[in-house]
Amino acid sequence: MTRIESEKKEIKKPAESVFEFLSDFRNFNDIMPEQVTDWQATADECSFNIKGMASLGMKITERKPYEQITIIKNGKAPFDFSLYCFISETDENSCRLQLAFDAELNPMLKMMAEKPLRNFLNLLVDQYAGLK
């Protein structure tokens, strides 16, 4: 199992607000980078393409209020994976956010995908931190 993590980012919003936003895939359209195309989402499921990489589908399977959201592969994807959104409250008006991606990657795929996936996770966190 390969784990790829984003940086931990300080978010100037309450943990509850961050959790509520990330618990609904329909909100993710606001933080998707330009490499993501064909974004389609309901509250619990989404599908999209990442230019030059893959088509992916995801589904939220667990929500631990204000702490963690668990997302898994849904539909077609080149490998099995889980994505975790970790939220840790620092005070009533801010929290830390980190994304962690666990996947079954063969050594070749790991070598090719690890850096772009880490960059993608960091970009998502940065995009969210920059929302008004």
2-61 confidence digits (pLDDT tens): 999 999 999 999 999 999 999 999 999 888 888 889 999 999 999 998 877 678 899 999
CATH number of the structural domain 2-129: 3.30.530.20
Virtual torsion, Cα 1, 27, 54, 97, nearest 10 deg: -30
Q: 34 versus 86: which is more confidently predicted?
A: 86
Backbone angles phi, psi at 59, to 5 degrees: -145, 135
> What is the pTM for the complete model shown?
0.92
Map out the domains of the chain as residue ranges. Answer: 2-129
| Mean pLDDT score of the chain | 93
Other CB atoms within a 10 A radius of the CB of residue 27 amount to: 15
